[in-house]
Amino acid sequence: MKIRGKIIGLGLTTKLLLAGSTLLIIPWLGVQSLNTMQSFLVEGQAQAQLLTARGIATLLQGRSDLFQNPADAPIKEGENTTTDFADIPLYPLAGQILLDAYQEDWQALSTRTLTFGDPEKTSFTLLLGQTSNNIYGFIRVTDTTPVYRHPGYLRLDHSDHIRLYLKNNQADDRRYLLTFEGNGRITAYQMDENWRYAESGTAEYRIEGQVRILKDGYTIEFGLPLSFLDTSQQLGIGVADASDPEERVIDTISKSFATVPQGDYNQLIVRSPETERVLKGLAQTDSRIWILDNKLQVRATAGQWQNDADYLPADEPVADLQVASIFNALLDRLSGARHGPIKDFNPAQTHAREGAFLQAALQGKASVTTRPALGSDHTIVAAVHPILHSDNRSIIGIVLLEQSTNAILNMQSRSLQRMVLLTLSAFLLISLVVLAYSSRLTLRIKRLGNDTHKASDEQGRMREKHNFRGLNNGDEIGELTRNVEQLLHRLNRYQQFLVAIPRTLRHEINNPLNTVSTSLEHLEEQVPDHTYLDSARRGLHRISAITDNLAEAASLEDALTADSLTRVDLNHLLTNYVSNQQRQTADGQPVSIELIAPKHEVWVLGSDIHLEQLLDKLLDNAVDFTPPNLPVEFRLTTGKKRCFLRIKNFGQPIPEAQITELFQMFHSHRYTEAEDSVHQHLGLGLYIARVICERHGGDLTVENLAADDGVVFTATLPLTG
C-alpha cells in the first residue's frame, strides 16, 4: 500500500510474530485431546462403577435376612406405598434400652440422628430403634427457655411437651402427649383432638421415659409397645415450646413431618446396621452406596461427597493451583469442572428413591446413567444392579452406586491449567526468541540498506569507497551483502567510464572539427554562395558547444574541488555581471535585466569564476523561457546567516511533475513558439547550477509564481564574516 509515495506494509518482526502465533494451535489441540480423554474417563468410570455394583450385589446375594422388617406386612390394594411418606429410619436394637435420658445406649447410632425444626427457634434431633416388642426413641431438644408442667393445671398444653402421632391398622388416629415437671420421669396421656385435655383423665403408663434438663434444652428417652403401631408403621413426632412461664402459651411446634403434605405421620423404615457395616469397607472415594429393598426403600447407605480441596494432591498446596479468578473461570469453563459442595439426596433423611433406571433394576436389568445433582451443577454417574435371592433368583433389592465426575473434571482442569501455563510460557519464550532474532535480522537488513544508500550521493553518483558491514557472514544476508557490494563496485567502474567519455570525445572530436573548419574557410574563398557554408559552420558550432558542455559537466566537480574559496562580495559581482550582460545581445535582441539589490556589501565564501558560471546558467535558462519585450528580474536579499538570489522570468509555469527532476543531469523540456516544435536539450545547465550552489554550501530551488505567469529560481548561499 502506498501513502504519499511511500510503501507501507507489515514489518519483518510483525510477520514473524504473526507466523509464530500459529503455535497457539497447540493449546487448542490439547483442549480437544483433554475433552476426548474426559469422555473416555467418564465412560471408564461408569463401567468401573457397574462392576463395583455387581460385586456388591454378588456379596449381598441371598442375604434376604438383611431386608426383613419385623413389622412388614403385605400392602393392601388401595393403600399408599411407603414412598408417599417422609420416612424416618427405624434401627434394630440388640437389646433393651435403659430409659435414663442418656445417650450411651445409642452410641452406635449417634451419627445417624435426624434434625428437625428451626435452629433460630426450637429444633430437635431424633433417633428411633426397635426390638421385637418395643419402639424406643431418643430426643434432644434445643430450648433456652424451658417451661415445665404446672401440677395444678388440668390443661396439658400450658408447658413444653412432646407429641406423638400414631395410626393403627384401622386407620384410627391416636395422640399421645409426653409432659414433665423437671428432671425425672415423664408422664404420657392420650389426648383429645385439640391437644388440651386427656381423653380418659388418667396417664398412659405403657409409655415410659425419662427427661434430663440441660443448659440449652433437654433430652427425653422414651419407649412404647410395638403394638401401638400394629403394621401401619406410621408415627409422627412434634416438640411444643412455650417460652413464657407466666402466659404459658405454645409459641412454636416443631414437627418431623412439617414439610410433607401427608398428614401428621412419618413412615418408619427399618434400616440395616449390619448392611451398612459391610458397605463401610466397600465405600469408594467420592461415592455413595445405596442398598434399597424391592420396594425401593433405603436399607443402608455408605460414603459421602468430597469438598473441592479434597481433590488436590497432598503434596501440592491449594495456593499453588489458584491463579487469577478470571483465568480459573475460563479453564473451568473449558474443562467443565464444577466447584462448591454437591447438594443431592441426604442419606440421613432420604429413605426411599425413585427413578426409571431403578424400576428397570427391579426387572433385573443392570444399567449406568448420568444425571445432574439436585441442588448444584455437578454431574453424577449412577450404576445400579439387582440383588437376587439365592434360591428362587427373585429380586430382593438393588445396589445403587453413585459417584460425581468432579475427580475427573478437576484433574482435567489441573491438566488444562498446567498445559495452558506451559504453552503460554513456551509461547512467550519463543516470542522473545523470535523477537530478538527478527530484531537482529531487521537490524542487519536496515544496515545493508543504509550502507547501500551511502554508496551514492543524492544525484546517484557512486562514491569511491564502499563501507559494507557484514561481508563475512555466511548466511543469506551475508551473501546478499557481498552481491550488492560487487554490483556497486561494477557500477562505480562503469560510472568512471561514463565520466571519462566527454573528455575523450572532446579531444577526439575537436581534431576533425578543426580540419572541417579549416576546409570551410578555404571554401569560402573559392565559392561565391556562402549559404550552405554558413549552415555547415553553424552545425560545427553546435557540435563544439555540445562537447564543451559535456566536458564542462564532467570536469565541474573536479574543478570545484580544486579551486580555493575566497571571500567574494556577491552584491558587487552581481552588479558587474548584470551591467556586462546588458551590453550584449542575443539573436539580435537586447537582453533586459532588472536588478534589485541591497546598498550594502554581501560577502560569501566562494569562487568568483564559478559564481559567474552559476549566474550564466540561471540567466540562460530564464532568457530561453522569457517572452519578447519582458525583462528577467534579479533580486538579492539577505537574512541573518544566508543570502537569497532570486531570478524571475515571466514565461510559462513548470509542470509540477517535472519540478522534482528539473535539476537532474540530461533533463530538459523546452517549447519555442517560433519553430512550433519541441526540442530536446542536453539538460546540463540547471544541473551545473545546482552543483555549484551545493559546492558553496547552499542549494537551488524553483517554484511557479502564484498567478501562473512565471517561474522563480532561488539560489541560497551562506554568508561569511
* 56, pLDDT greater than 50: yes
Q: What percent of the chain stands above pLDDT 90? A: 17
Lowest mean pLDDT among 225-239, 279-293, 462-476, 677-691: 677-691
Q: Is the predicted pLDDT of residue 80 greater than 50, yes or no?
A: no
- Most trustworthy range by pLDDT among 34-43, 629-638, 669-678: 629-638
Q: Which of 55, 73, 214 is nearest to 146 (CA)?
A: 214
33 is written with which cell numbers?
485431546
Of residues 686 and 564, more confidently modeled? 686
Compute the distance between CA of residue 182 and CA of residue 162 in angstroms, rounded to an integer.
14
Tell me the C-alpha distance between 155 and 392, whole Å.
58
Residue 81 has pLDDT above 50, yes or no: no
| Location of C-alpha cell 452406596 | 289
Strands (E) across 619-698 are located at 632-638, 642-649, 670-672, 677-679
Q: What is the pLDDT of residues 587-635, one digit of tens each?
A: 555 668 888 999 899 999 988 888 888 888 888 888 888 887 788 899 9
Stronger pLDDT, 575 or 414, i.e. the higher one: 575
CA angle centred on 506, ends 505 and 510, rounded to 5°: 115
**What pLDDT was estimated at residue 39?**
75
Give the N- to C-terminal CA distance of the chain in Å, as an integer: 50
H or E stretch including 36? Answer: helix 25-60
What confidence score (pLDDT) does residue 460 get? 66
Altogether, the residues listed in the chain come to a count of 721
**Beta carbons of 211 and 186 less than 8 angstroms apart:** yes
More reliable by pLDDT, 581 or 103: 103
Taking the C-alpha atoms of residue 265 and residue 260, their distance in angstroms, rounded to an integer, is 9
Alpha-carbon gap, residue 544 to 536, rounded angstroms: 12
Question: What's the whole-model pTM score?
Answer: 0.42
Q: What is the mean pLDDT of residues 317-338?
A: 53
Helix axes 406-454, 12-20, angle to 10 degrees: 160
Other Cβ atoms within 10 Å of 329 Cβ, number? 11
State percent of the chain over pLDDT 70: 71
Q: Where are the alpha helices (DSSP H) in 590-667?
A: 608-625, 656-659
Burial of 462 per CB tally in 10 Å (0-12, 13-18, 19+): middle
pLDDT tens for each residue of 272-311: 666 766 676 666 667 788 888 888 888 788 877 765 444 4
Q: Which parts of 100-195 fold into alpha helices (H)?
A: none
pLDDT at 650: 85
pLDDT on residue 139: 95
The most confident of the ranges 22-26, 146-150, 298-302, 610-614 is 146-150
Residue 638, SS3? strand
- Supply 406's cell numbers: 468432579
The grid coordinates listed for 212 are 434430663
**What helix, strand, coil percent values describe the chain, rounded to 5?**
40, 25, 35
Instruction: Give the integer Cα–Cα distance in Å for 632 and 636.
Output: 13
Average pLDDT, the chain: 77
d(C-alpha 195, C-alpha 193), whole Å:
6
Buried b (16+ CB within 10 A) or exposed e, 656-689: eeeeeebbebeebeeeeeeeeeeeeeebbbbbbb
Q: What is the pLDDT of residues 161-182, one digit of tens each?
A: 999 998 766 667 889 999 999 9
The yes-or-no verdict on residue 560 having pLDDT over 70 is no
Between 216-220, 413-417, 430-434, 583-587, the lowest mean confidence (pLDDT) is in 583-587
- Are 423 and 27 in contact by the 8 Å Cβ rule? The answer is yes
Single out the residue of 467, 474, 459 nearest to residue 488, CA to CA. 467
Tell which wins on pLDDT, 378 or 541.
Answer: 378
Complete DSSP assignment for 298-330: EEEEE--PPPGGGGS-TTS-HHHH---HHHHHH
pLDDT of res. 73: 39
pLDDT given at position 240 = 93
> Phi-psi bin for 689: left (phi > 0), alpha (psi -120 to 50), beta?
alpha
- What pLDDT is recorded for position 120? 82
pLDDT (average), residues 318-343: 56
> What are the angstrom distances between the C-alpha of 299 and each of 231, 343, 404, 575?
18, 21, 22, 128
Q: Are 311 and 321 in contact (CB under 8 A)?
A: no
Task: Specify whether the CB–CB gap between 644 and 714 falls below 8 A.
Answer: yes
Measured CA angle at 196 (ends 192, 200), to 5 deg = 50
Contact in structure between 358 and 385 (CB atoms under 8 Å): no
Q: Which of 410, 290, 313 is nearest to 41 (CA)?
A: 410
- Pinpoint the alpha helices (H) of 190-302: 273-280
- Cα atoms in the Cβ-side hemisphere of radius 13 Å centred on 200: 11
**Span of 331-345, 398-412, 650-664 with lowest mean pLDDT:** 331-345
Q: What is the pLDDT of residue 201?
A: 80
Span of 72-76, 240-244, 410-414, 529-533 with lowest mean pLDDT: 72-76
Q: Which of 342, 316, 535 is nearest to 417 (CA)?
A: 316
Cβ atoms of residues 389 and 381 within 8 Å? no
CB 605 within 8 A of CB 718: yes
Of 660 and 677, the structure prediction assigns the larger pLDDT to 660
| Of 684, 676, 673, the residue nearest 545 (C-alpha) | 684
What pLDDT does residue 675 have? 39
Q: Residue 320 — pLDDT band, cuts 50, 70, 90? A: very low
According to DSSP, the residues that pair with 187 across neighbouring strands are 179
Alpha-carbon span 428 to 422, nearest angstrom: 10
- pLDDT category at 672 given cuts 50, 70, 90 is very low
Name the pairing type of β-strands 585-586 and 250-255.
unpaired
Q: What's the pLDDT band for 552 if we cut at 50, 70, 90? A: low
**Among 233, 259, 219, 264, residue whose Cα is nearest residue 349:** 259
**pLDDT-derived band of residue 228, with 50, 70 and 90 as boundaries?**
confident
> CA neighbours within 13 Å on the CB side: how many for 70?
17
Integer Cα distance of 444 and 476 in angstroms: 11
536 CB neighbour count, 10 Å cutoff: 16
Per-residue pLDDT at 313 exceeds 70: no
Rounded distance, CA 28 to CA 33, Å? Answer: 9
Residue with cell 555540445: 546
* C-alpha closest to that of 174 among 73, 258, 239, 265: 265
